[in-house]
Chain A
Amino acid sequence: MNRILPLTVLFLLSGTLLAQEQFSAEDIAFFESKIRPILVTHCQDCHSGEDPESRFSVEFREAFLTGGEFGPAAKPGNPKESLLISAIKHDEFLKMPPKAKLSTTDVINFTRWVELGLPWPNESMEIVANIGQSADSVIAEFTEEQKQYWAFQLPVRPAFPRIANRPWIQSPIDFFTLAKLEEAGLTPAPQADKRTLIRRATFDLLGLPPTPQEIEDFLEDDRPDAYAQLIDRLLSSPRYGERWGRHWLDVARYADSNGLDENLSYEFAYQYRDYVIRSMNLDKSYGQFVQEQIAGDLMPPSDDPLAGTDQLRATGFLAIGPKMLAEDDPVKMQMDIIDEQVNTLGQTFMGLTLGCARCHDHKFDPIPTADYYALAGIFKSTKSMENYNVVADWFERPLVSEQTQAEIDRINAEIQTTKAKQTALNSKVVEIVEKELLHKADQYLLASSHIGDLDSHLAKHGLTAQAKQDSPFIVADGYLLVEAEAAHRTNLTIVPNGYGEGIGILASGGSGGFAEYEIEVPLPGSYTMEVRYAAQDSRSVGIKLDGKAMADGVLGRVTGSWYPDTQTWVAEIELELTAGKHTLAIDSPKVYPHIDKFALILNREQQTQNKSMPPSLSAFALEFDINKSFLSGWLWYLKTLDETKLQSNPFLAAWLRLSAIASDNFPEASAPILAELQSDGGLGAQAPKVIKDIFRQAPPKSLEEVAVLYRRLIVDTNHAFKHLDDSAKAVYKDVYDEISKAEFPAVTPKTIPASAYPEDLQMQRVSLTQQIAELEEARPEFEMAMGVTEGAGADLEIHLRGSHITLGKKVPRRMLQIIEGPVPQHKITEQSGRLELAQWLASPENPLVNRVMANRVWRWHFGRGIVSSVDNFGTLGELPTHPALLDYLAVELVESNGSLKALHRQIMLSATYQMSTAYSEQGMATDPENKLLWRFNRRRLTGEEVRDSVLTLGPGLDNRMGGTLLRVKNRAYVTTSGSNLTNEFQNQRRSIYLPVVRSSVYEVLQALDFPDPAVSNGDRATTTVAPQALLMMNSSLVDEATAALSQRLLPLNSSKRLETAYNLIMGRSPKSEEISGAQAYIQQVSEASVSTGISAEEASLFAWQSLCRVLLSSNEFIYIE
């Protein structure tokens, strides 16, 4: 085990703590009799000595004050804030003693002990200074054994071992494998036949089956280097990057969504995927590939535009991990994201499980916690996120040249200026609106009480739920009423119950959509759109008329809940409509409020008096000379008061009672209410003094007068709080409490409705909006990518036990000490240190990076790594079966300038690779796991290979490269209660281009062992489970592919059909018994089908489809020899 130099902790014991407290003999006696015995019997076993648990010792009073990893244990005089007390009470996360709780008497005694100030006799404190500080130390000291661990030694070119069977050798690699076999007394399997080799090599490099033509060509090619030529042909195919890029994506835990808690779309993750595929096809040097993924943005930019932007795409590696985006604790969120980056980095490039050192020194490998935080500091200094809000936004960057960037910056600046003008205009309007709201408060009150419930007015006009059902579009002259769920075209959900109980509403799931209505307008003119909806949070949408956007950010009011009882009419926007047909659309990329219905109302000024016109907010607003949009706010507010808050609203309670009185005998009917108001009971009990006062001074004779009194009070209160001193404010405090609530309708809203703008200002507003739209239009388009950039450089403190709440010593950023030594060689200067980290990883002095990659390549060819734990080269990983061979391959990788294609060539041209999978009793007896490679490992096709092959043989594979198939917009929810994907997987593109949705992986790939895309995995498992069989038997993928395949076979001459089917699927001709077997089968299935009454031709097609399904399901097809 590694030993860490213990640091002294004397510095922790600051002056005040060192000063000895004086305690009375009585208190000391209490300690000795009640406390010390408990400490000795219950605590000391763990919490004493040089290396106490959690670095907390109970041997000295000072140790309680400084505490351990969880902070101070006791605060003298304050048991409530003492961790010790909560721990022994078993109240909080920390429960001590862990097994048996102390008795109640003991707890009382300890509480008293803390209250007394922790009395303790005078004792020496020397030993306190020696408490183990491993988690807090910076410089590590490693044992010789740790330093000599094989994986930390630089790979060196090994000598070729001596072997006997010289003729078997085809490549240097074979020396190493053969030597091991000969040592074990094993003989290598014979060379595989050419048919097997071309199938093996083609799947291996391209992930696709060879075509019958390719097989034939290869069989006929008798040049001595035919096989080498084959490998070269395969390596130059663009399909190579798609196959080997996918291997890398497993390691890079690639996905197109966040996963974890809030599963949002990573729309631009594909940029990183395409970068990986391109890099593979270009045979980019592995060292460069590594560096770009860590710090491509900090490397000198390439002259080639694509290579230049690829450097930026590359850092997507650090960005595409899963993140807890709705973590309420932003500090924890950041540290968790950094941890994910450090852990993935360690596993991917070095085969080290760095994550283990987050909470404590790595238990098995020489990675002290200090090293973890030294690396974590690099990522702390890197910007991965825009913010740590709930739900947090990750960083994205434009992929542009400097020139274009300058142009974009210029336009952005202009947009900013224009927006500033908008803001200035807005504040002007705010002033106007404020006046309107305050000084017409009486009219709003009167109008609201007059209207009451707008729907009851509508009912009087026959516009009941029943009527709506019969005719969802009701038209009077200048009035259209439309049920939201009667949309002509929509991808939103109609909710008939629950949120839509009794009314039917239109709502969206996790993401947006549209609803389009064909409307016929009888009279031209200016219309107000009034909408009835419910919303607990503001969810605004856009309105389009005949395909043109008319308004954005409308329907954003909060009504209290999503349920029908808070459905509210709101006057939203004005629309100029010509007579005739129009398409009106509600359109939003985001979630919708719950929309019940809407009305279009011709503005009254423009229409001839029409008595039959149904009532509306617009009509009432006109009557009372107030704003229709604010009127809906008042209506809603009074409605909620009516139902739930009347008791608790002393301010408006009187109004609600008085406004319920019939107007004809107001003075008589109001008298008892007014008297009650002045008394100490009922209304009077709660009413603030100012309310009593205004009614006492001038008893109102009509409701209009009451409204005026209220308006004055509101205006006065507002004035007092804006301009007067505290004593004046105190008078109005109760009223102010009410009217300053955000939902109080006389408060100026955050967004001012267009209808509240005076005409000239409205024109300015429109013009500014237009300017911004034009500027945005003119801004050059650019692609975006996920990635990271530089943040503020900062070292991190060691987080004790991984907790961001208990911090230890700050550690400077640097590389791993076990590899770099105690003195940093790659010094971090000004920036985050990512560039230095990248250079360190890619430098030839790094013993792990090339070795880990050479081993990965071997694993992906042979199904098992030379180090079988490909992601873990630590002491808990497996030892290499062929250490010299691994060194040889690592050196070759470095010396071929990091060319993976050169490595493939070496490996695939070896006799080792070309062995057959032939079974051997002796081999099985000596080495059943085939660790020594006495034969080639048979392997099952991966999920991607199954799908891609089945598509190739059936409908054909779409070979277009790159781009994204994800249709969910960036940062929108990919999954909610169900999946928000539409038909992202119903296409013939290669599987690598299908979106990878974390926590909801495409079911075909999921069934076939697609690795969890949340974690790095270079060693995919192969399971054999029933759901995979169900996939072959029942999936539409296999159904459709076999249907296409049988369509392809049927036109052929009957004798050619089976020949073709076997050549396509198995890569060989059928044997004679297979021919007879298949014929019998076709016969059997056809007869079974015909006897049900279907036509012979249909039955034949059906039978051939069935046979194809059997062949595609067969082990011979699914396994590579």
Chain B
Amino acid sequence: MESIIHLGKIDYIIVGVYFLFVLGIGWALRHTMKGSGDFLTSGRSIPGWVAGLAFLSANLGAQEVIGMGASGAKYGIMTSHFYWVGAIPAMVFLAVFMMPFYYGSKARSVPEYLKLRFDEKTRGFNAFSFAVMTILSSGISMYAMAKLMGLLLGWSFGASIAVSAVIVLIYIFLGGLTSAIYNEVLQFFMIVFGFAPLAYLGLKDVGGWSGLKAKLVDVSTAQGYAPGAWGHAWSHLGAPSQNPMGVEWFGMVMGLGFVLSFGYWCTDFLVVQRALAAKTMTAARRTPLIAAIPKMLFPFLVILPGMIAIALTYQAAKGATGGFSLPPKNGSYDYDMVVPYMLVHYFPTGMLGLGMTALMASFMSGMAGNVTAFNTVWTYDIYQAYLAKDRPDSHYLMVGRAATVVGIALSVAAAYLAAAFNNIMDVLQLVFAFVNAPLFAVFLLGMFWKRATGNGAFWGLVIGTIAATIHYGLTIPIGATSLLKGGWLGTIEHVYPSEMAQNFWTAIWAWSFCFVPAIVISLASTPVKTDAQLRGLVWSLTPHVDPENSALPLWKRIAPFGALVIVLTVILNVIFW
């Protein structure tokens, strides 16, 4: 098959230079890995701004870059809700209210916090599901990269997998979490420098924001929506039928903005691990806030190109020449091709190499983020907890390194599994979505209600997961053809206007059916932990003094910083209302 992108010599040199630096960072850090703490938790030594950019970057896999470009074309500026509603508030909450417990408890991982706060079985439940999920995500990331590189550059699937696996293995094996974090910071700048000119050139081409909005009117009306549907974030959220996402404001705010977003940003160890690596409590609390500033601006980098692409595509359909058109697919457009096609259209040789490097970098750091979270949870929460308790630290360093090798080998296997049976991966991802959805209810109760017990937490999680599964089984999105989309319990109780609406509401159900039973069961069971044991783990039993934070001038403290982030986000929402 003819490849879509042809890289020149200079492009390959840029790709090569970048990966030389990636490996070099691992090499430069190889002597600093003296114990398991250095390798798995960076010895709590990372400055706040580095942890902050890594926090952002670890989540910014290439699937997100490709997916957000696609959604920008499909849904317009409403896609920014995944940032402004679905990320920023949760990041501020994590920084201001939750980080004191995570960091202050000296827990090395999120499952370990659950063990300290609740009990062994709650930790085990979280540790095992998380470990499997990280391997799966890392495998899917690898698979997606190999598939895309095959399509764009004509590289062989096996070679793409092998090269990415070996590079990630080398730099994590040598430099552990620190190496992963440093490379995530490098990747952050690659993404910004690689994509900012794309948004700039595209916007200039369509006549700026006002020109883009005018052109998007065609996109909206041609698909049967009000003229402003693609150019406004909130105006068309009154009812699911008014916008292409098929959701209404309540499902958006509660499902995405509360359950899914807080569940991910506040409890997923992959991101929380970056903050836990910070060198002081204040640095750890500042981590998500520092990440929030670029995060709120990322829609302009990753969503805008999609909006530009679809606007130009409709212009071309009207007969405009010299423009741009997305490839057709199933009576619509192949939205996943937004980013690659935009790169080819606007970037000459040279910048094209930079753009492709940014894409590859984000695939790899997505993998590396998962692998570093996996090796920590495996070593501390599974191996040390259940298999070999009291060994010298050097033993756990060795196990952490071995877990890195095994984790990457399993990811490769998962990538091949994804290539062979696409549906199996979809099913597994669905299962983990059910397991994860109720998690935030347990953390909320655990951190802010001292009466919450281990039994309440564990059974709340189990009931919430079952509720999510049942809800999914009784509902379908409109036009569903596969049982994978729901409805497999036979009777259909409700038809959602879109898959997204169904996902948001599944999350709301899971959360509620965890939260309420967890309270009831906690009240019915006797508390096992004493107040003294819960000090530092629960809001009401923890003295709220952070001498480092209080010593700072007011404008440098955590709470005003968090408030600033919220105000800026509100302003963005108002501008694009």
A, B from the same assembly: no
Report B's interface with A, CB cutoff 8 A. Answer: none
